[in-house]
């Protein structure tokens, strides 16, 4: 049984209709009168001024009008097995830029709530809403390796969805790498491509990019627009720092080129400001690098006394964990990056890698051995176990550790059917079209060297461990190195990334807050894609000193708040009143009119309140190599 499905709006197009999408420009007059065929004939409401329309409103358009303006639109059908999960009234999978423009124009001119969905991975639920139009951008799928990139106001052309990547680019790139300080090439691709698809497309050219540590996250979607960390971002920089150009449909319906010479303010904002805020990205050009050999070292370090319920774990476990953290900045300076997990039962494992390393992990062993010996010597700890791997290139590494997406999920995580669809967006099988399945409570903090070396760390980690069956602290040593190089305002990325080494996520079913991490690192921030919806002081925490400029750019490009995501830049300009998204200070009578005074508060509650169901913690663990890999 599919989790959610849409049917094509059944009323046929009016033959010879002059209202093609291209005519639906901001200046064209929108349809305003309700159709006699409106599905809701017994309506009593009308949207208050400043509020998005609902299908129960008088002015809501009939299905035939929707179809007339958005020919491939499909209407929501409730899943009888899940009648409480309400998604937008309509969904359109945009096949081209014109269709995106038509959707944006229709939503703006008719006051319809617009959400963008791509891979469907947003843990904070900003890709879904209980009303309006879902714009699915997963159809933009072309890819092309660029031999050179120079920013122009016209931008690079769209890659042909059917074209193959240039097989010579790899050899060329290696030659450039050896002879030239320009150590990167570039790739242009449609926003619908997943990390794994981009990896696969680039492998014949012996290139790779800064995708996620999960094959089905979309590099140019919400991932790269917020920051984007991956297994090698400490060496090459965050995903947002790789972007050379975006093509984006802004809320006025225009397609714009955003690069160093064209709309530089938009270009800056889209590199860190977050998804669903400044426009609909359809295409990206990012840096690509010659694929390196990679060595990997994994370890388990367990307490002598483990306890599934977490209460009777040897206290030395937390001292060992804190000691391990204190070593991370120096390891990172030696080229080490990776991931580690601390489990509630008193077990801990790590998987760390060095790119450009072809020594059968000799260097990794030399670096880790003294640290692991010391961890094992702490009373209450067993001697850690170690395993190493060597991979010839990026694709061999990635496929073994994280992908290929489908095979990975089937074979290694043993997810099936609906379970697999939970967070993996529209499947290739149109019939099984799945949708994002809700918010996953979690909390996180970016930790810099003083926090990792703090005398308070042992206690802070222990207090942060969620005391729930899937309680886990996920550490990602993904910053440092190249990710520290850009100035705080070079891109819109949260400046906390420029000092942090570790992104520490605290997770487990139903856990929203792990306050001890904020207390440990009050001067840092958090990654807005893997964070708590209840994060206090959300603007400062997610964007720091870049927030104010981002808010100005949001108002410039989206004065009518066509796009709204919370947390997101400008989120506090809107609020949810009786299930509607309304302008703060409109006539709907919300409570949040003094939102600015609430700078220390949490981001406005969104209209999507659907929590992900069941045990999604297996999914968050799939962010990283599965347990049987060490």
Ligand X SMILES: *[C@@H]1O[C@H](CO)[C@@H](O)[C@H](O)[C@H]1NC(C)=O
Ligand Y SMILES: Cc1cc2nc3c(=O)[nH]c(=O)nc-3n(C[C@H](O)[C@H](O)[C@H](O)COP(=O)(O)OP(=O)(O)OC[C@H]3O[C@@H](n4cnc5c(N)ncnc54)[C@H](O)[C@@H]3O)c2cc1C
> Residue 355's Cα: distance from chain center in Å?
24
Q: How far apart are CA 422 and CA 475, in angstroms?
A: 23
Residue 118 in the binding site for ligand Y (CB under 6 A): yes
Q: How far apart are CA 405 and CA 217, in angstroms?
A: 10
Residues in region 183-242 near ligand Y by CB under 6 A: 191, 212-214, 217-218, 221-223, 228-230
Residue 45 in the binding site for ligand X (CB under 6 A): no
Residues that contact ligand Y, how many (by CB under 6 A): 36
Q: How far apart are CA 205 and CA 395, in angstroms?
A: 11
Residue 253 in the binding site for ligand Y (CB under 6 A): no
Smallest gap from Cβ 447 to ligand X, in A, equals 12
Q: How far apart are CA 423 and CA 442, in angstroms?
A: 15
Handedness of CA 478, 480, 481, 484 (dihedral sign): positive
Q: Which of 52, 87, 121, 247 is in the footprint of ligand Y by CB under 6 A?
A: 121
Residue 619 in the binding site for ligand Y (CB under 6 A): yes
- Region label for 109, one of left (φ > 0), alpha (ψ between -120 and 50) or beta (otherwise): alpha
Give the one entry of ligand Y, ligand X, none that residue 309 binds, where binding means its C-beta sits below a cut-off of 5 to 8 angstroms depending on kind. Answer: ligand X
* Residue 285 or 529 having the CB closest to ligand Y: 529
As a three-state string, the secondary structure of 468-530 is CCCCEEEEEECCCHHHHCCCCCCCCCCHHHHCEEEEEEEECCCCCCCHHHHHHCCCCCCCCCC
Give the one entry of ligand Y, ligand X, none that residue 454 binds, where binding means its C-beta sits below a cut-off of 5 to 8 angstroms depending on kind. Answer: ligand X
Q: How far apart are CA 411 and CA 421, in angstroms?
A: 15
Q: How far apart are CA 630 and CA 622, in angstroms?
A: 14
Q: Which of 52, 87, 126, 395 is in the footprint of ligand Y by CB under 6 A?
A: 126
Give the one entry of ligand Y, ligand X, none that residue 456 binds, where binding means its C-beta sits below a cut-off of 5 to 8 angstroms depending on kind. Answer: ligand X
* Residue 62 or 494 having the CB closest to ligand Y: 494
As a three-state string, the secondary structure of 268-314 is HHHCCCCCCCCCEEEEEEEEEEECCCEEEEEEECCECCCCCCCCCCC
* All residues at 6 or more sequence positions from 618 whose CB lies less than 8 Å from its CB, including other chains: 413, 415
Give the one entry of ligand X, ligand Y, none that residue 247 binds, where binding means its C-beta sits below a cut-off of 5 to 8 angstroms depending on kind. Answer: none
- φ/ψ of residue 97, rounded to 5: -60, -40
Residues in region 507-546 near ligand Y by CB under 6 A: 529-530
- Given a contact cutoff of 8 angstroms between Cβ atoms, the answer to whether 587 and 48 are in contact is yes
Q: Which stretch, 118-126, 318-326, 513-521, 554-562, contacts ligand Y (CB under 6 A)?
A: 118-126
* Residue 54 or 269 having the CB closest to ligand X: 54
Angle between helices 316-333 and 362-377 (to 10 degrees): 150
Give the one entry of ligand Y, ligand X, none that residue 119 binds, where binding means its C-beta sits below a cut-off of 5 to 8 angstroms depending on kind. Answer: ligand Y
Q: How far apart are CA 416 and CA 425, in angstroms?
A: 14
Per-residue binding letters, 329-368, with ligand X (x by CB under 6 A): ----------------x-x---------------------
Smallest gap from Cβ 218 to ligand X, in A, equals 24
- Tracing tokens 């996180």 back to the chain, one arrives at 444
Residue 308 in the binding site for ligand X (CB under 6 A): yes
Give the one entry of ligand Y, ligand X, none that residue 230 binds, where binding means its C-beta sits below a cut-off of 5 to 8 angstroms depending on kind. Answer: ligand Y
Smallest gap from Cβ 524 to ligand X, in A, equals 12
Residue 179 in the binding site for ligand X (CB under 6 A): yes
Q: How far apart are CA 76 and CA 79, in angstroms?
A: 9
Residue 280 in the binding site for ligand Y (CB under 6 A): yes
Residue 385 in the binding site for ligand X (CB under 6 A): yes
Residue 578 corresponds to which tokens in the numbers above?
A: 């009786």
Residues in region 429-488 near ligand Y by CB under 6 A: 436
Smallest gap from Cβ 565 to ligand Y, in A, equals 5
Task: Calculate Rg over the CA atoms of the chain.
Answer: 24
Instruction: Write out the residues near ligand X by the rule CB under 6 A.
Output: 42, 84-86, 130, 148, 176, 179-180, 182, 300, 302, 306, 308-309, 345, 347, 382, 385, 454-456, 607, 609-611
Instruction: Write out the residues near ligand Y by the rule CB under 6 A.
Output: 115-123, 126-127, 137, 191, 212-214, 217-218, 221-223, 228-230, 275-276, 280-281, 423, 436, 529-530, 565, 619, 622-623
């Amino acid at each position: 049984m599919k989790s959610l499905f849409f049917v094509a709006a059944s009323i046929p197009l009016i033959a010879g209709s002059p209202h093609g999408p291209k005519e639906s420009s901001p200046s064209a007059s929108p349809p305003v009168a309700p159709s006699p065929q409106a599905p809701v004939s017994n309506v009593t409401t009308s949207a208050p001024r400043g509020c998005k329309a609902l299908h129960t409103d008088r002015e809501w358009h009939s299905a035939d009008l929707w179809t007339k303006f958005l020919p491939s639109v499909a209407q929501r059908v409730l899943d009888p097995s899940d009648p409480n999960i309400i998604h937008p009234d309509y969904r359109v999978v945009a096949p081209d830029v014109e269709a995106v423009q038509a959707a944006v124009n229709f939503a703006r001119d008719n006051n319809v709530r617009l959400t963008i969905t791509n891979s469907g991975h947003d843990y904070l639920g900003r890709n879904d809403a209980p009303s309006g139009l879902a714009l699915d951008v997963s159809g933009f799928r072309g890819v092309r390796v660029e031999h050179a990139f120079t920013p122009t106001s016209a931008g690079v052309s769209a890659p042909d969805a059917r074209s193959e990547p240039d097989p010579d680019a790899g050899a060329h790139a290696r030659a450039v790498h050896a002879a030239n300080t320009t150590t990167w090439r570039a790739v242009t691709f449609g926003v619908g491509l997943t990390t794994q698809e981009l990896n696969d497309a680039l492998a014949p050219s012996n290139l790779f990019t800064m995708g996620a540590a999960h094959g089905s996250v979309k590099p140019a979607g919400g991932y790269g627009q917020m920051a984007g960390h991956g297994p090698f971002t400490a060496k090459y920089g965050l995903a947002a720092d790789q972007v050379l150009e975006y093509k984006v449909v802004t809320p006025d319906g225009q397609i714009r080129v955003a690069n160093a010479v064209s709309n530089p303010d938009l270009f800056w904002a889209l590199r860190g400001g977050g998804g669903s805020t400044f426009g609909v990205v359809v295409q990206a050009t990012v840096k690509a690098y010659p694929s390196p050999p990679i060595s990997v070292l994994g370890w388990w370090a367990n307490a002598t006394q483990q306890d599934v319920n977490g209460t009777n774990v040897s206290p030395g476990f937390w001292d060992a964990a804190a000691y391990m953290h204190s070593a991370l900045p120096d390891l990172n300076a030696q080229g080490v990056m990776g991931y580690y997990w601390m489990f509630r039962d008193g077990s801990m494992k790590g998987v760390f890698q060095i790119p450009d390393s072809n020594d059968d992990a000799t260097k990794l062993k030399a670096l880790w051995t003294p640290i692991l010996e010391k961890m094992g010597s702490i009373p209450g700890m067993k001697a850690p176990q170690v395993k190493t791997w060597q991979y010839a290139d990026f694709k061999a590494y990635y496929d073994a550790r994280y992908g290929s997406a489908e095979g990975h999920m089937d074979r290694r995580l043993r997810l099936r059917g609906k379970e697999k669809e939970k967070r993996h967006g529209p499947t290739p099988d149109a019939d099984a079209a799945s949708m994002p399945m809700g918010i996953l409570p979690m909390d996180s903090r970016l930790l810099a060297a003083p926090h990792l070396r703090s005398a308070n760390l042992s206690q802070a980690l222990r207090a942060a461990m969620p005391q729930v069956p899937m309680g886990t602290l996920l550490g990602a040593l993904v910053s440092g190195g190249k990710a520290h190089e850009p100035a705080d305002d070079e891109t819109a990325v949260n400046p906390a990334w420029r000092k942090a080494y570790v992104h520490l996520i605290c997770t487990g079913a139903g856990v929203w807050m792990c306050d001890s991490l904020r207390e440990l690192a009050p001067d840092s921030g958090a990654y807005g894609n893997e964070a708590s919806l209840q994060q206090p002081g959300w603007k400062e925490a997610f964007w720091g000193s870049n927030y104010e400029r981002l808010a100005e750019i949001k108002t410039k490009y989206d004065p009518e708040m066509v796009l709204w995501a919370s947390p997101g830049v400008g989120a506090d300009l809107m609020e949810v009143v009786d299930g509607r998204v309304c302008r703060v200070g409109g006539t709907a009578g919300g409570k949040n009119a003094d939102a600015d005074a609430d700078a220390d508060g949490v981001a406005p509650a969104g209209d999507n309140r659907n929590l992900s169901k069941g045990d999604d913690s297996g999914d968050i663990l799939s962010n990283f190599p599965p347990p049987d890999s060490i």
